[in-house]
């Protein structure tokens, strides 16, 4: 049996041979963890310098976001042009629709720049999944959501202790409420475990898992469309291709939602940090 050659680069459709179809005697080259691994563009795992496709996409995404907002606001006008109007709409959506709604205008204003930057960075990293040539969501690599979640985690703890002091901060983190009586120690233990240990983990994994699963499904149906393109399998290939289109449209929606949820949760954490303890 002819085995398909597998590459770490999913943009090469797993590099299985172009003549590999169903009924040809070659197995189905299913996507897996290898679909999320890339050979370094330069450097290697043992050297101090390592740069691969994922890093390149993250860097390009950052440059695109900075370039877009710089172009939109470098010469702002009272009557905005199309680019400025789109940028203002995006900025205002995060500011009013997420930050103000969660933290209020007074508390939230100072966090607006960070939350706007985080929202568009996450969204751009998600969007790479459906952009030709790139075709890979950076946030499907756990290091990126984990890094962002860690930054927000440190910010949340800093605000908590700065606002309430050390003792007050601990009370805030553990849900201290003396009216709970005998079950107070158990409640404090659960709250501490939930807030300090579980919260940053779930914050990162929620984004990562959605992007990982979505990209895997897109790969699955894309590869299946080609693999089934032979004999009576053509009919099934058509169905699979329709699913590629459907999944791409669905991914567009999920990518925006996940960016929204990530920033919404960050604002929610900060809201808990600035709330007065009773």
pLDDT at residue 79, rounded to an integer:
83
User: Is residue 178 exposed (0-12), middle (13-18) or buried (19+ Cβ within 10 Å)?
Assistant: exposed
In a domain, 95, yes or no: yes
The pLDDT tens digits for 176-216 are 887 777 888 898 899 889 888 899 999 999 999 999 999 99
Which carries the bigger pLDDT value, residue 227 or residue 62?
A: 62
Q: Which element (helix H / strand E) includes 256? A: helix 233-274
3-state secondary structure of 4: coil
Q: At what angle do helices 233-274 and 199-227 cross, to 10 degrees?
A: 170
Which tokens is 221 given? 């149906």
Specify the pLDDT at position 8.
43
State the residue range of the domain holding 173. 68-274
**Residue 213 resides in a domain:** yes
pLDDT at position 116, please?
96
* pLDDT digits 0-9 by tens, 215-273: 999 999 998 888 888 777 788 888 999 999 999 999 999 999 999 999 999 999 999 88
Structural domain contains residue 201 = yes
- pLDDT at position 11 over 70: no
Residue 237 lies in a domain: yes
User: Count of domains in the chain?
Assistant: 1
User: What is the rounded average pLDDT of the residues 1-18?
Assistant: 44
| Token reading at 12 | 């090469």
Task: For residue 148, tell me if it sits in a domain.
Answer: yes
Let me know: does 266 contact 118? Beta carbons within 8 Å. yes
Per-residue pLDDT, 277: 58
Partners of 51 in the beta sheet?
A: 42
Give the Cα separation of 252 and 261 in Å (integer).
15
Is 30 inside a domain boundary? no
Band (pLDDT 50/70/90 cuts) for residue 4 is: very low
In a domain, residue 49? The reply is no
Residue 45: per-residue pLDDT: 67
Decide if 18 is inside a domain.
no
For the chain, give the number of residues: 278
Largest CA distance in the chain: 73
Task: Give the tokens for residue 41.
Answer: 């563009």
pLDDT number for residue 89: 95
Q: What pLDDT, on a 0 to 100 scale, did the predictor assign at position 267?
A: 95
Q: What pLDDT is stored for residue 137 in this prediction?
A: 95
**What does the CA dihedral 68, 73, 74, 78 come to, rounded to 10 degrees?**
150
């Amino acid at each position: 049996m002819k085995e398909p050659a597998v590459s770490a680069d999913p943009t090469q459709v797993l590099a299985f041979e172009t003549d590999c179809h169903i009924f040809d005697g070659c197995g189905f080259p299913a996507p897996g963890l290898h679909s999320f691994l890339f050979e370094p563009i330069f450097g290697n795992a043992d050297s101090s310098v390592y740069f691969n496709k994922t890093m390149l996409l993250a860097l390009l995404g950052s440059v695109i976001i900075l370039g877009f907002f710089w172009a939109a606001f470098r010469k702002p006008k009272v009557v905005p042009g199309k680019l400025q109007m789109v940028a203002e709409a995006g900025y205002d959506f995060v500011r009013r629709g997420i930050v103000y709604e969660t933290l209020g205008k007074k508390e939230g204003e100072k966090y607006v720049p960070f939350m706007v930057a985080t929202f568009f960075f996450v969204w751009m990293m998600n969007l790479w999944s459906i952009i030709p040539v790139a075709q890979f969501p950076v946030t499907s690599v756990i290091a990126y959501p984990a890094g962002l979640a860690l930054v927000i985690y440190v910010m949340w703890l800093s605000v908590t202790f700065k606002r309430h002091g050390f003792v007050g901060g601990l009370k805030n983190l553990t849900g201290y409420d003396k009216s709970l009586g005998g079950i107070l120690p158990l409640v404090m233990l659960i709250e501490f475990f939930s807030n300090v240990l579980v919260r940053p983990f779930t914050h990162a994994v929620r984004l990562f898992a959605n992007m990982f699963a979505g990209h895997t499904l897109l790969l699955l149906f894309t590869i299946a469309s080609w693999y089934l393109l032979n004999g009576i399998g053509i009919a099934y290939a058509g169905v699979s291709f329709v699913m590629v289109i459907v999944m791409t449209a669905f991914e567009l929606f999920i990518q925006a939602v996940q960016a929204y949820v990530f920033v919404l949760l960050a604002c929610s954490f900060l809201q808990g940090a600035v709330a007065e303890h009773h």
